[in-house]
Chains A and B, each alone.
Chain A
Amino acid sequence: MTESTVLTMRGIDKSFLGVRVLRSVDLDVRPGEVHALVGENGAGKSTLMKILAGVHTADAGTITLGGRAVSFTHPLQAQHAGVATVFQEFNLLPDLSVAENIFLGREPRRRGMIDRRAMTKRTADLLSDLGVDDLAPGAKVGSLSVAHQQIAEIAKAMSQGADLVCMDEPTAALADAEVELLYRLVERLRERGVAVLYVSHRLREIFDLCDRITVLKDGELVDSVAAADITPDDLVTLMVGRRIEAAFPEPLPDTDHGDVRLEISGGGNAWLDGIDLTVRAGEIVGLAGLQGSGRTEIAEAVFGIAPFTRGTVAVDGRPVKLTGPRKAIAAGIAMVTEDRKAHGLALRQSVRANARMVLDANRRAHSRARVERIPSILSSLDLVARGPDQEVRYLSGGNQQKVVVAKWLATEPGVIVLDEPTRGIDVGAKHRLYTAIRALAAEGLAVLLIASELIEVIGLADRIAVLHDGRIAGELPAGATEKQVMAYATGRSPR
């Protein structure tokens, strides 16, 4: 590296609880360049950015900023060293004005009092310098649009003399017009020689804005290339890479795709629009998409947690109003939630109490026969527990998830929604759940499977609906490649 760099990271390693999320990653960012950091969910982008921001500390490796070796153990150290980070959640105080936020803790003073006029003036200068003319320094941050809050955050970074601004999915929550505003701001930063590290899933933005692109995959550096030297197609190939196929169980031989059990027509709400989706008996339909694309929102709409406000849903041909979990349960829908500790289990209750919770809570679902079937459901999932009286908090993640699955199977549902069913569980338990999912399909259930790990959706689903920006961008048959899925997921149509 003979060229000057504002940031050099070498050999960055990071593990969480023994799981390697970054493996010897290198990154170079030059002054005044917009540098994209891309990769699938879980590739390690956010972790790398958080190490740079001082939120996490790397286990190994070196960071050099403007020629000085640095090591951050606290976000303030990163700020003082000239790294400003705009996270998806803002660090602004909503009840204070833009100016007060920007100068928080270092307000200009006159005779010991805060000099409001100077503060307002300096804020106005800062904003006009950034080419922003429609943001008043005195406006309360809480009343601003997301885009303007972002601008305030960036202005705050600039006022601290940052040489490097990191943005984590800055356009995720922006409307189209607001994205234009952000583009202009990034251009202005570039003109001023400030480097921007830009994390995004959206390929169009990356090619519009960025000079160079660094690709991460499974915590490792794949390549660092100039944006001009690569086509979007090749970039997707780099992101997905080639993988050894995981062993997913084959569909059971007696699995038939029968009648339509779940039918969503024109479903929409604040997050979703124009969702048309059918799942047949015996069919596993996968929902793929990047974070924030609306996968979980579909699951929550189907289960009545955040219902559809437009469109219709029918279960087994009968129209249903899914206005709450009780309605969904009555319609024969079950949902294994993403966060089993927060939404799935009463941790201090026994295995038995949790497994029969849905039956206990719903008179119409409750029957003696179903309660008596629970032990055999648990043992068919190979639950490892000291006994039915053991509190579930003492079980491993995988066994806890089996209890969650069991409590829904106890209701003999017709439709089961699995939202990240294998998150945070070990490989053995994962495989056991894959087999269980196949068995459910063979029994004639309609399965809606959501997973952020593409390979899981591809390995299990008979059909894949890919979401992008709250809409179904496309449907793919079984055997689709990761590249095809990623193409739809990043907002392009595959060729």
Chain B
Amino acid sequence: MSRLRSAAAALAGGGTGTVFALLIAIFAVVAAVNPGFFEAPSLMAFLKQAAPLVILAAGQYFVIVSGNFDLSVGALVGAQVVIAARLIDGEESRTLPVIGLMLLFGAAVGLANGLITTALKVQSFITTLGMLLVLYGAIRLWTGGAPTGSLSESFREAGRMGIENVPLLGQIPWALLIMLALGAGAVQLMRTRFGRVLIATGDNELATARSGGRVDTVRTTAFVLSGLSATVAGILIGGFAGVSAQVGEGMEFTVITAVVLGGVVLGGGQGSVVAAMGGALTLEALFTLFNQLALPASLRPSVQGAIIIAAVAYAARQRRLTSRKPQREARPLTATPS
């Protein structure tokens, strides 16, 4: 029983359980508007579509909780899809080598982000904004403006297909299984020494360094994980939606919205990876609800912007309330017991 309670507490991640309450509330409204939503096929379709954002959110969580941002993920997703189409060019046999290459490329972009941020002391906001533009421009240059080539069938399998004819559920999408596996991996990673040092770094870099923590290394690793998550997301999105020049556009903001919606504090040190992924699901559910209510899709950026501002304002207020430091003079100067 206490095990169950502690598991629930871990899932809630210290005050971030609100996001799951919100998710349930949105689902309830969705169910009221469209009772058919919770039938297996449409639910599975929803999860398949949400999987890339959830995976991106896990990657972004590592970066944010260590005190940085990664704005380059949207451009990286787009770049990966374009790279895949161009290099595979419809040849089945090239699928696996190209996926390997994409993973290397994603890791390299993350490594560059991390090293520029930690070794050159450039703010991650600027580093990854620059990387976004570099990737965007390089892809346009390489492809001459429009994506060329095409993806192989086996490449698209992961984003489109699944285990068919499962009793009750019908199709279980590969995307869902990949999301669950990576999500479990992310949760497990945060329980390792790496995860603990990562979150401590975001909370108090100096204290962590003085405890012997390699703050630059863990922060760089977080960027690499984010780059890898963008690669996986790119594979799923490419499979699901195919190749276009717009793939990934604006996703960096969607994923940051998702992470802060999960209660992860911008600036680092607070929040759980489960809640970050929950935030991604919640955001997708919200957009689904918009569809159900026939609200225009053009409303989405405004909603994301409002969520980001509200979440950051809330976090700033929390900080002001809890970490108001007494002035230096306020210390008892001589409190010698006498």
**Option from A16, A46, A353, A456 in Cβ contact (under 8 Å) with B336:** A456
Q: Report B210-222 CB contacts with A as 1/0, cut-off 8 Å.
A: 1111100000000
From 155 to 214 in chain B, residues with beta carbon under 8 angstroms from any chain A beta carbon are 193, 196-197, 199-200, 203-204, 206-214
From 374 to 412 in chain A, residues with beta carbon under 8 angstroms from any chain B beta carbon are 389, 391, 393, 407
| Interface pair B209/A325, CB less than 8 Å apart | yes
In the complex, chain A residues whose CB is within 8 Å of the CB of B325: 341
| Interface pair B212/A365, CB less than 8 Å apart | yes
Nearest B residue to A300 via CB reads B210
A17 to B323, CA, bound (A): 16
Which one of B88-96, B134-142, B327-335 contacts A? B327-335
In the complex, chain B residues whose CB is within 8 Å of the CB of A426: 335
In the complex, chain B residues whose CB is within 8 Å of the CB of A44: 333
A325 to B213, CA, bound (A): 9
| Interface pair A360/B210, CB less than 8 Å apart | no
| Interface pair B330/A16, CB less than 8 Å apart | yes
B100 adjacent to chain A (CB < 8 Å)? no
**Option from B206, B212, B270 in Cβ contact (under 8 Å) with A326:** B212
On whether A349 and B203 interact (CB within 8 A), knowing A361-B197, A424-B332, the answer reads yes
A1 adjacent to chain B (CB < 8 Å)? no
In the complex, chain B residues whose CB is within 8 Å of the CB of A171: none
| Interface pair B197/A42, CB less than 8 Å apart | no
Which one of A183-191, A200-208, A239-247 contacts B? A239-247
A442 adjacent to chain B (CB < 8 Å)? no
B147 adjacent to chain A (CB < 8 Å)? no
A276 adjacent to chain B (CB < 8 Å)? no
Which of B200, B207, B212, B327 counts the most A-chain CB atoms under 10 A from its CB?
B212
| Interface pair B211/A325, CB less than 8 Å apart | yes
In the complex, chain A residues whose CB is within 8 Å of the CB of B337: 246-247, 427, 430-431
Nearest B residue to A330 via CB reads B212
| Interface pair B203/A346, CB less than 8 Å apart | yes
A47 adjacent to chain B (CB < 8 Å)? yes
From 440 to 491 in chain A, residues with beta carbon under 8 angstroms from any chain B beta carbon are 453, 455-456
In the complex, chain A residues whose CB is within 8 Å of the CB of B193: 360-361, 363, 366
**Option from B9, B196, B210 in Cβ contact (under 8 Å) with A353:** B196
| Interface pair A346/B269, CB less than 8 Å apart | yes
- Measured CB to CB, the closest approach of chain B to A425, in angstroms, equals 8
B35 adjacent to chain A (CB < 8 Å)? no
In the complex, chain A residues whose CB is within 8 Å of the CB of B203: 346-349
- Measured CB to CB, the closest approach of chain A to B269, in angstroms, equals 5
- Measured CB to CB, the closest approach of chain B to A432, in angstroms, equals 12
On whether A17 and B212 interact (CB within 8 A), knowing A360-B193, A393-B323, the answer reads no
A21 to B323, CA, bound (A): 24
A335 to B329, CA, bound (A): 24
In the complex, chain B residues whose CB is within 8 Å of the CB of A47: 329, 333
| Interface pair B338/A243, CB less than 8 Å apart | yes
| Interface pair B329/A16, CB less than 8 Å apart | yes
- Measured CB to CB, the closest approach of chain B to A201, in angstroms, equals 15
Could you tell me how many residues of chain A have their Cβ less than 8 Å away from some Cβ of chain B?
A: 59
A305 adjacent to chain B (CB < 8 Å)? yes
Which of A42, A343, A361, A407 counts the most B-chain CB atoms under 10 A from its CB?
A361
B144 adjacent to chain A (CB < 8 Å)? no
B326 adjacent to chain A (CB < 8 Å)? yes
Nearest B residue to A426 via CB reads B335
Q: Report A326-362 CB contacts with B as 1/0, cut-off 8 Å.
A: 1001000001010001111111110001101110111
In the complex, chain A residues whose CB is within 8 Å of the CB of B326: 16-17
A10 to B212, CA, bound (A): 51
B interface majority secondary structure: loop
B322 adjacent to chain A (CB < 8 Å)? yes
| Interface pair A361/B333, CB less than 8 Å apart | no
In the complex, chain B residues whose CB is within 8 Å of the CB of A407: 211
On whether A21 and B212 interact (CB within 8 A), knowing A345-B207, A346-B203, A349-B199, the answer reads no
| Interface pair A453/B336, CB less than 8 Å apart | yes
On whether A361 and B213 interact (CB within 8 A), knowing A349-B200, A455-B336, the answer reads yes
| Interface pair B331/A325, CB less than 8 Å apart | no
| Interface pair A347/B329, CB less than 8 Å apart | no
On whether A347 and B210 interact (CB within 8 A), knowing A423-B331, A453-B334, the answer reads no
| Interface pair A42/B323, CB less than 8 Å apart | no
**Option from A361, A391, A427 in Cβ contact (under 8 Å) with B335:** A427
Which of B204, B323, B331 counts the most A-chain CB atoms under 10 A from its CB?
B204
Nearest A residue to B193 via CB reads A360
Q: Report B83-112 CB contacts with A as 1/0, cut-off 8 Å.
A: 000000000000000000000000000000
- Measured CB to CB, the closest approach of chain A to B271, in angstroms, equals 10
A415 adjacent to chain B (CB < 8 Å)? no
A329 to B180, CA, bound (A): 39
Nearest A residue to B206 via CB reads A343
In the complex, chain A residues whose CB is within 8 Å of the CB of B211: 325, 329, 357-358, 361-362, 407
Q: Report B240-255 CB contacts with A as 1/0, cut-off 8 Å.
A: 0000000000000000
A423 to B331, CA, bound (A): 8
From 241 to 295 in chain A, residues with beta carbon under 8 angstroms from any chain B beta carbon are 243-244, 246-247
| Interface pair A19/B208, CB less than 8 Å apart | no
In the complex, chain B residues whose CB is within 8 Å of the CB of A40: 334
| Interface pair A361/B269, CB less than 8 Å apart | no
In the complex, chain A residues whose CB is within 8 Å of the CB of B206: 342-343
**Option from A19, A244, A354 in Cβ contact (under 8 Å) with B338:** A244
| Interface pair A347/B336, CB less than 8 Å apart | no
- Measured CB to CB, the closest approach of chain A to B225, in angstroms, equals 18
Which of A243, A326, A363 counts the most B-chain CB atoms under 10 A from its CB?
A326
A94 to B329, CA, bound (A): 26
| Interface pair B332/A357, CB less than 8 Å apart | no
A44 to B334, CA, bound (A): 9
**Option from B207, B209, B331 in Cβ contact (under 8 Å) with A16:** B331
A170 adjacent to chain B (CB < 8 Å)? no
| Interface pair A343/B207, CB less than 8 Å apart | yes
| Interface pair A345/B197, CB less than 8 Å apart | no
In the complex, chain A residues whose CB is within 8 Å of the CB of B214: 326, 361
A50 adjacent to chain B (CB < 8 Å)? yes
In the complex, chain B residues whose CB is within 8 Å of the CB of A42: 333-334
In addition to A19-B332, A346-B199, A346-B208, 5 A-B residue pairs with Cβ atoms within 8 Å of each other are A219-B334, A344-B207, A363-B193, A393-B323, A426-B335
**Chain B residues packing against A (C-beta within 8 Å):** 9, 14, 193, 196-197, 199-200, 203-204, 206-214, 269-270, 322-323, 325-327, 329-338
**Chain A residues packing against B (C-beta within 8 Å):** 16-17, 19, 21, 40-44, 46-47, 50, 56, 218-219, 243-244, 246-247, 303, 305, 325-326, 329, 335, 337, 341-349, 353-354, 356-358, 360-363, 365-366, 389, 391, 393, 407, 423-424, 426-427, 430-431, 453, 455-456
Closest 4 CB pairs of A and B: A361-B213, A346-B203, A42-B333, A42-B334
Give 14 pairs: A residue, B residue, CB < 8 Å, sorted on A. A19-B332, A42-B334, A329-B212, A342-B204, A342-B207, A345-B207, A347-B203, A348-B203, A348-B269, A357-B196, A360-B213, A361-B200, A362-B211, A430-B337
